Structure formats: structure tokens, C-alpha cells
Structure 1
């Protein structure tokens, strides 16, 4: 009986650990990103270089990792075959003036677009308008 209880507790701990953000993504300032809903406070714009460093690591990650790291998307589009695109604004725009919670049109402001395939894994991470990262390699 006690082995069964221990096994149950171990399984619970494993499942809790599986829902967190991988160590390779923990240096990203997730809290600042999440607190700048719709990119209206320009905090996300300041994090673009840091985001660019982890962008390629998001490929293949599950949806819960994206939501834990970047928070609830500012907008979402359902595509055919159960694919989805999450949108995260990275600069202020028309979305900051809209008061309606159910936005019907996307703003022209730049945004990160995270495409999730039908099994809930990241298949593409792009920008609405490409961003040139300011990070330079040390010579």
C-alpha cells in the first residue's frame, strides 16, 4: 500500500514538472512580457532582442510551454485542420485604443505570430513585419 502512495506522489511531481518552462527559456523576462497586454506599454518592444534569442527554441514545444512563457495570446486564429495561430503584439497600435474585449479586426502593429499544429506543438514563430535584432556577435 505505501509503495502505491509513493508512486502516486512521484507521478504527481513529474506531471507538475512537465507543465513548467524549460530551463533554456527561463532567462527570458516572461513576467514583463505577460504584463504588457497588447504591447501598449512598450515593454515587449524592449524584449524583442531577448525574444529573438529564444525564438527558435520554441519550435516543437507544446502549447502549454508557450502559454507559460508568453501568457494568453492577444488574439488567436483557428485555421483548418485544428491548427491555430497565437498573436502577441510587440508595439502599440490601434489595438490599444479599442475598448471592446472582442476585437474583430487585427491592428497593423507589429506582432509575433506563433503557429501551433494540430497536435498542439509550435511549428512556426514569425513576425508580422520582420524585426532586425540588434544583437551582434562578439568579434
Structure 2
């Protein structure tokens, strides 16, 4: 009867281990403080963020919250997937977050398990 307990503990331990990305070169404190990219600090980080795209994939949504802060917009998608939207430059959303904006965004797509599967840089909101 001891073996099922060990297996359960092993599964819990493995599930709690998530990828810890190397986000060198990004001032995460400034990123979090620049809500909506309205201050202009995120604009200076765009090229570095693009180069770290593969580092962000595989990170859990909880960990991404810890690194980049809460998303500017959280968008639910089909099959229990979701997007975290971070505006990288100022736009009409700075006046009202509900206004459509064509500003550059970083859209991180999460699987139903809460792991980042896709990171896109685009203008405007992602298509569902």
C-alpha cells in the first residue's frame, strides 16, 4: 500500500514544477508599473521581449502573473483556453481600456492546463 502514496507524491511534485524562464534584460518592475504601456517603458522592451518568446512558452499563467503582473486584458477562448494581453505601447486604450486599440500587444495563449503555448506580437486584439 505504500507505493500508491509515493506515486501520488511524485505526481504532485512534478505538477508543481514549472518552467522558470530566463528573462534577462527585461526590467520586470518597470514592465509591471507601466500598465497598458501608457508610460512608454514597455516600448523600450519590445525587441528584447520578442527575443525571449521561446522562454515564455511553457510558463504557467500563475508564474507569468508573477513576472509581468496581471494582464492588461484577460480574454477567454474556446476549449477553456485563454489569452493574456499586454499592451506594449500607448494607444486609445490608455483613455479607456474598453476602447479598441491598434497598439502593439504581446498576446500569450494558455492551454486548458494553464501553460503558455503561444506568444504573438501583433497590432490589435487576437482573433478568437
TM superposition shift of 1:106: 3.5
TM superposition shift of 1:104: 3.6
How does the TM-score come out when normalised to structure 2? 0.75
Structure 1's unaligned 5+ residue stretches are 1-14, 130-139
For the structure 1 residues 84 and 28, does the alpha-carbon distance in structure 2 shift closer, same or farther, using more than 3 Å as the test? same
Out of 68, 90, 93, the position equivalent to 1:92 is 90
Cα deviations by residue, 1:7-66 (Å, 9 ceiling, x for unpaired) = xxxxxxxx9xx7998362254211111010000011000011221232211111111221
Larger radius of gyration: 1
* Contact map agreement 1:21 1:69 (CA 8 A) in 2: no
For the structure 1 residues 21 and 36, does the alpha-carbon distance in structure 2 shift closer, same or farther, using more than 3 Å as the test? farther
How does the TM-score come out when normalised to structure 1? 0.70
Q: What is the distance in 1 between the residues matched to 2:66 and 2:120?
A: 19
Moved over 6 A (4+): 18-21
TM superposition shift of 1:72: 0.4
Q: Which residue in 1 is equivalent to 2:29? A: 31
What is the total number of aligned residue pairs between the two structures?
A: 109
